[in-house]
Structure 1
Amino acid sequence: MNKRKVAVFVEGQAEYVFVRDFLCRWYDYDSTLLGIECFSLRSDLYNSEPYLFGDRKSVNYYQIVNVGNDRSVLSKMLKEAPRLQNAGFHQIIGLSDMYSDLYHVQTKERCIDVAVNQKLIDECQNSLNASSQRDLLSYHFAIMEVEAWILGMYQFLQQIDSSLTPQFIMSRLQIDITADPEISFYHPAKVLDEIYRLAGRQYGKHLNEIASITSQFSKDDYARLLASGHCKSFNEFIKDLVAE
């Protein structure tokens, strides 16, 4: 019997894997507490992804939908909302990166602009408020990308290569990896790639790359980020996602 039945619409592979693996860690891989089904949504057709955990009768059932386009998350979740409400879903959540072509147009100088952040957040909220399913709907931006949340747990880098200490990264790239990545890095995925290259590797948002990272995170890692005061957008999303 479901206590919570939640649909999560995400923009791409990085967000899909991050949410999927976070939920598994958070609920300690307990299939009585957690059920997950994953889909890709293309041309309004749901395609099952090769990942299934628990079942639809788990206490907390999540349907994660990768729409494959940052500009489509809002429209897809709004379109699907009536059907999902009729199917008994208690909550419908959207997640996309703030970093986008639209953001570049708004800022010109390629820098984090709090006013632009709020403008885009308000525009999304206005769209949600106009929906008859508005009580079920919420939308979150990872600021500036979900990779900022990953960099907020930077300790994992030394599991990739022991040389990737904050001191070494600072000396080579002049990047303070201990700072709040949400307010420090305009393009977090690029920062992560630059750090990877110090160890002779690359990061390009590919499924295997993001899965390799998230497989190293523990529930304690996520809890530390939540308690750190960094990545406010992560805190807000997780509170909505797990209702704690």
Structure 2
Amino acid sequence: MKKLAIFVEGLTEQILVRQMLQAVLDRKRIAIQSVKITGGHNVRMSFTVLRAAHVERQTEYYVLVYDCGGETNVKGYMMAHRQKLVGNGYSMILGLRDVYPNFQREDVPKLKRGLNYKLPQKGARTQIHLAVMETEAWFLGEYRHLRKLSRKLSPEFVEKQMGFNPKTDNMEERDRPAEDLKAIYRLVGHDYTKKRDRLNAVVSKLDFSYFTHGLADRMESLGAFVEGLESFFMESF
């Protein structure tokens, strides 16, 4: 059984990764466990299993998703646990975090280099990916899900109300995509929040076939993350 560990910034990315992998792979072939990490530095780390994995005879892949509780924790937690993960048979270790709010667009190349500078590779390919500027940019780019929320939310309607078109414009160029998404939802009397139930509802509306193909080809940061996952599973999504 191949094993993959993914250290993500928070709940949004945790839910996205789980639902995306379950959508593009046969659920019988993959087992996903979600774990929340807290502590560190001068406080003992603790681990809380949020959703346990269900391993069956047909399971080919085991994915452990760590919710790091903030973008600044991703690399630290990854490095603290990497050696143990390699010892437990994990062949790839990935990280995923936002650029905003601690960095600006012009910082992206330097931030990417810094996060990946001299990351150990022995035993497991290891890489940290960025969502530019936030993971919500990817949600905006998957504009089709907006019509599932309300038939009014066509790309043309959004452009008239918001000044940008999520179908034709590159949503990685939006500086505050989470705020944009919230504003769009409010146009039709809904809200976008970081609560688990709301995030599950939003992510469940995403068209993951388009998300991992057409959209990943248009959005560089999403494409890089999808490519990293595909290199582990050794198949195209």
**Fold conserved between structures, TM > 0.5:** yes
Structure 1 residue 72: Cα displacement: 0.6
Identity of aligned residues (%): 26
CA distance in 2, matches of 1:10, 1:144: 15
Match of 2:21 in 1: 23
- CA contact 2:91–2:123 (8 Å) conserved in 1: no
CA distance in 2, matches of 1:223, 1:11: 20
Structure 1 residue 54: Cα displacement: 4.1
Letter in 2 for 1:236: A
Letter in 1 for 2:128: Y
Secondary structure at the counterpart of residue 186 of structure 1? coil
Q: Is 1:232 the equivalent of 2:220? A: yes
CA distance in 2, matches of 1:200, 1:69: 29
Aligned in 2, Cα 1:63/1:26: closer, same or farther, shift over 3 Å?
Answer: same
- CA contact 2:212–2:223 (8 Å) conserved in 1: no
Secondary structure at the counterpart of residue 53 of structure 2? strand
Match of 2:156 in 1: 167
Letter in 2 for 1:181: M
Q: What is the CA deviation profile of residues 88-111 of structure 1, one whole-angstrom value per residue up to 9, with x for unaligned ones?
A: 10011010011122x1xxx4xxxx
Q: Is 1:120 the equivalent of 2:111? A: yes
- CA contact 1:55–1:61 (8 Å) conserved in 2: no
Alignment of 1:1-244 (within 5 A): 2=1, 4-29=2-27, 31=28, 33-43=29-39, 44-54=45-55, 58-101=59-102, 103=103, 107=104, 112-113=105-106, 116-128=107-119, 131=120, 133=122, 135-178=124-167, 179-182=169-172, 184-226=173-215, 229-243=217-231, 244=235
Letter in 2 for 1:10: V
Secondary structure at the counterpart of residue 86 of structure 2? helix
Instruction: Tell me how many residue pairs correspond in the alignment.
Output: 226
TM-score, normalization by structure 2? 0.88
- CA contact 1:82–1:133 (8 Å) conserved in 2: no
Structure 1 residue 219: Cα displacement: 3.8
Q: Can you give the 5+ residue segments of structure 2 that lack an aligned partner in the other structure?
A: 40-44
Letter in 2 for 1:180: N
- CA contact 2:86–2:123 (8 Å) conserved in 1: no
TM-score, normalization by structure 1? 0.86
CA distance in 2, matches of 1:55, 1:191: 41
CA distance in 2, matches of 1:188, 1:51: 31
